Structures are given as C-alpha cells and as structure tokens.
Amino acid sequence: MATAPVARVRTVDWLDKMLNGGLPKGTWTVITGGPGVGKSVLTILIAGGNLKTMPIIYVTTESSFRDVVRQAGLFGLDLGNAVSLHDILTGKANAGESNMIVIDLFSLYRQYRELIRGEGGRKPSRALSIEVLKSAVSRALEELGLLEGNGRITGEVLVIVDSMTAFWADKPALARALSYGLRQSLYGPNLTVIMTSQYAPTTAMSFGFGLEHVADGIIHMWMDDVEAVKEVRRWLIIKKMRLTNHYSKAVRFNITEKGIIPLEPSLGEVNQGP
C-alpha cells in the first residue's frame, strides 16, 4: 500500500537534502552541541528561511530580540516584520501582519507574572521557567491568530527554542520530567518544534539527556579538539529522525557570511541562498 508522503518543514538546503526533504511536520527536533558550534546560527537560518511560508515563534534565552534580527541580517535574512512578545505585552507593537514573534525570555522579566496569571497557573518565582515558556508560547500563538478557545492550534506553526539548557541548568536531574511535560503541551500535527540543547563539554550528556529522549529527531553538532587540530573544525550528524530516512554520515561544515556551508561535495553543490 502506498503511503502519503510526509509533509516537511525546510531547514537549510544541504540539511534538507540530508533529511530527504526537511524536518517532518509535527515533530520535535533537538539540536545538540557545545558552545560556539553553530546551534543558534542554524536556528536563525531556519527561521529566516521559513518566514515567508509559515508563522514562526522564536524563543531565545540567549540574546535580545534586536540581536536575533541583527544576526539574521548578517546572513542576508530580513526579519523585518518580526515583533517581540515583550513589545506586544507593553503595548509598543502588535502582531498585526507579522508572521514571526520573538520571545526574549529575559526581557519578559516584568511581564511574566501577568502572563502566568492570564493562564490561571501558579506564579513561578522566576521568568526562566517551563511554565513561563508555555504561557509565552500560547500567548504568541494567540497573537498570531492560531489558537482556539479550547487550546487547539488551528494552523501550521514552527516553534524554535534556543536554548532549553537554561531551564534546567540548576536542576539537571529534572530535565527529563520537564521535557515530558513540555512535550505534552507543545505537541500536535500543526506544530513543528526545534529546540537547541547545550552539551557542557565537561559533563557531556547530562544537559541534553531529557530532551533527547522525548525528541523525534536529534541533530548533533560538534567541534574537533581545537588544541589538537589548531583550527575550528565543525561537524554535524543526524543521530535520529523519526518518520524519514536520512543521511547517516557526519558532514563537516563552515560558518561564513553566506550561512552554514557544508564541506561535502555531494551536498555542497546545493545553492545556499543569500
């Protein structure tokens, strides 16, 4: 019996090729790797590349709204009509025609109590909690006109969280339980989720552990030992991806002003866009 092809969300051209067309829609993918390997750059390229085709919610725990827009601009991607949730909540902007809402969790410091109260939940003691993340994402879905009263998500959306590590940095033992909880609330056929997770070089697996088990896909990025090879050599591998066949070898890549460029002739012929 022929099966229907799996609908995809595009990433960057060469990674789409490795994924047989992109990330299967409705799945959760975790991008893991140590500091500076290119996780944030990859998520920004994915957001910029999808902006014209689907609404995007981009959560950052690492940089400001302005820096996300600026970093995208350095790669020739215009996030011009993106708005920040902070600006929406403080009345400085509205989602209007925008297709992208950036949630900068640190800037929400003053608003998070309000957000949670709106959700009827208990008040967390700090902005950087899974409850605030969930409430902020559902508020952004609402602003984008994608949420029904019963909580159903009415249209396709790409949710990117860069990074999850900060949510359990002080309680790594809870990473798994928190990941399961989050998966239950952020899961559906219309919802494609990409999260980054930082491997602490000294403790290897610990921070990524919870998320990797609940994720449908894992894209791992790493660097060769810079002291041994005396240069930055970056690699990427698809460790798992449910619902699709995928390339199974590691691919070396560079980050340049053109984006993330593979050093693999069979993938490198692909046009990287701007």
Ligand X SMILES: Nc1ncnc2c1ncn2[C@@H]1O[C@H](COP(=O)(O)OP(=O)(O)OP(=O)(O)O)[C@@H](O)[C@H]1O
Give the CB-side neighbour count of residue 165, counting CA atoms within 13 A.
20
Closest CA to 219 of 45, 90, 3: 45
Nearest approach, Cβ of residue 85 and Mg ion (Å): 19
Strand partners, 57: 101, 159
The sign of the dihedral angle between the CA atoms of 166, 169, 171, 175 is positive
Q: Which of residues 15-34 bind ligand X (CB under 6 A)?
A: 33
Of residues 54 and 255, the one with the C-beta less far from ligand X: 255
Q: Which is nearer to Mg ion, 101 or 221 (CB)?
A: 221
Cβ-closest residue to Mg ion? Answer: 40
Give the one residue of 37, 46, 82, 105 binding ligand X; rule: CB under 6 A.
Answer: 37
Q: Is the dihedral of CA 72, 73, 75, 76 positive or negative?
A: positive
Nearer to ligand X, 107 or 165 (CB): 165
Q: Which residues bind Mg ion (CB under 5 A)?
A: 40
Is residue 35 close enough to count as binding ligand X by CB under 6 A? yes
Residue 39 binds ligand X (CB under 6 A): yes
Window 67 to 106, contacts with ligand X (CB under 6 A):
74
- Asked if residue 259 binds ligand X (CB under 6 A), the reply is no
Selected binder of ligand X within 30, 41, 89, 164 (CB under 6 A): 41
C-alpha angle 89/95/31, rounded to 5°? 90
Distance CA 85, CA 121 (A): 19
Closer to ligand X at the Cβ: 42 or 136?
Answer: 42
**Phi, psi torsion values for 87, nearest 5 degrees:** -65, -35
- Which two structure tokens, joined as six digits, stand for 166? 């900060």
CB of 134 to Mg ion, least distance (A): 21
Query: Minimum distance from CB of 248 to Mg ion (Å)?
Result: 26
Count of CB atoms situated within 10 Å of the CB of 214:
18
In the complex with ligand X, the residue whose CB is nearer, 225 or 257, is 257
- Binder of ligand X out of 38, 48, 49, 210 (CB under 6 A): 38
- Characterize the bridge pairing of strands 259-262 and 251-256: antiparallel
Among residues 255, 261, 270, 272, the one that binds ligand X under rule CB under 6 A: 255
- Residue 274 interacts with ligand X (CB under 6 A): yes or no: no
Shortest CA distance to 252 belongs to which of 273, 229, 274, 242? 229
170 interface partner picked from ligand X, Mg ion, none, CB below 5 to 8 A per type: none
CA dist 130 and 172 (Å) reads 13
Binding site for ligand X (CB under 6 A): 33, 35-41, 62, 74, 198, 255-257
